[in-house]
């Protein structure tokens, strides 16, 4: 998955706002992109430190929250753990009830575009959807 375009967009927007792109922040962005779907902050932290060893956990949390606030990333709460991922490109998730793995699903079956108004006044700004089930590995174990 190539997220470099998404990162470039964020960097450009931040520069336009006069926000400094520090090395730790850059590392968090790259880490979030590499972490894939629904990474928790610890995973992002671990990956970020590989790119920039001095990255602090507080910076990781702050940067993730900033990205969520500005709409660049999405956050899920699962069992008391916050999970994050870059919001683009649009996709859905296949969530395994056996091992908890989360896989991307690129097909979008929902025909309602953002910006559409439904039910006489509800403005749609986006949607979330996940398919629940069992991944191939878990199905083989279960027989």
By CB under 5 A, tell whether 35 contacts Zn ion: no
By CB under 5 A, tell whether 10 contacts Zn ion: no
Is 52 or 87 the residue whose CB approaches Zn ion more closely? Answer: 87
User: Which range of residues in 11-19, 61-69, 71-79, 132-140 is near Zn ion by CB under 5 A?
Assistant: 132-140
Is 24 or 67 the residue whose CB approaches Zn ion more closely? Answer: 67
By CB under 5 A, tell whether 1 contacts Zn ion: no
Distance CA 31, CA 43 (A): 8
Tokens 């009830």 belong to: 97
C-alpha 104, offset from chain centre: 11
Is 88 or 101 the residue whose CB approaches Zn ion more closely? Answer: 101
Contacts of 31 (CB under 8 A, 6+ apart): 44, 45, 46, 47, 48, 50, 51, 60
What H or E segment, with its residue span, contains residue 94?
A: strand 92-96
CB of 91 to Zn ion, least distance (A): 6
Residues engaged in binding Zn ion (CB under 5 A): 37, 85, 96, 98-99, 101, 108, 110, 135, 138
């Amino acid at each position: 998955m190539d997220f470099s375009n998404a990162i470039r967009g964020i960097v450009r927007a931040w520069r336009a706002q006069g926000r400094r792109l520090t090395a730790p922040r850059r590392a968090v962005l790259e880490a979030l992109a590499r972490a894939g779907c629904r990474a928790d902050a610890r995973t992002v932290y671990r990956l970020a430190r590989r790119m920039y060893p001095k990255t602090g956990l507080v910076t990781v949390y702050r940067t993730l929250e900033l990205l969520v606030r500005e709409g660049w990333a999405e956050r899920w709460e699962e069992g008391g753990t916050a999970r994050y991922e870059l919001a683009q490109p649009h996709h859905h998730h296949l969530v395994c009830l056996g091992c908890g793995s989360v896989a991307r699903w690129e097909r979008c079956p929902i025909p309602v575009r953002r910006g559409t108004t439904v039910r006489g006044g509800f403005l749609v700004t986006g949607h979330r959807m996940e398919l629940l089930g069992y991944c191939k590995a878990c199905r083989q174990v279960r027989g």
